């Protein structure tokens, strides 16, 4: 999964950063489905400057905690 690989290489990334790097369409849907598929995703906060550096704001960050033990078999012979 591209998102898991990106989060592993770049922990504490924002949804905007992950979406720009992975181009998955709806990043919030991907984050909500990852635990159902066995991925552990941690959430945190990061302070960023805005308003030309005059103010700060909190942005949500995501980190990959673990991967599923077994990946689903995508090519099953019927």
Cβ atoms within 10 Å, residue 10 = 14
Q: Are 62 and 19 in contact (CB under 8 A)?
A: no
Q: How far lies 32's CA from each of 11, 29, 43, 64, 70, in Å?
A: 18, 5, 12, 13, 19
What's the CATH number where 13 sits?
A: 1.10.10
Q: Give the pLDDT mean for 18-43.
A: 94
In which domain, by residue range, is 9 found? 2-66
Closest CA to 68 of 44, 40, 43: 40
For residue 1, the model assigns a pLDDT of: 78
The verdict on residue 60 lying in a domain is yes
d(CA 67, CA 35): 9
- Name the domain count of the chain: 1
* Model confidence pLDDT, tens digit, residues 36-47: 999 999 999 999
pLDDT for residue 72 is more than 80 = no
| Residue whose tokens read 């790097």 | 21
């Amino acid at each position: 999964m591209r998102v898991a690989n990106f989060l592993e290489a770049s922990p504490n990334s924002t949804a905007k950063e992950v979406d720009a790097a992975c181009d998955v369409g709806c990043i919030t849907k991907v984050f909500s489905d990852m635990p159902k598929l066995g991925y552990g995703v941690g959430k945190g906060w990061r302070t960023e400057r805005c308003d030309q550096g005059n103010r700060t704001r909190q942005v949500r960050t995501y980190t990959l905690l673990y991967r599923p033990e077994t990946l689903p078999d995508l090519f099953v012979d019927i």
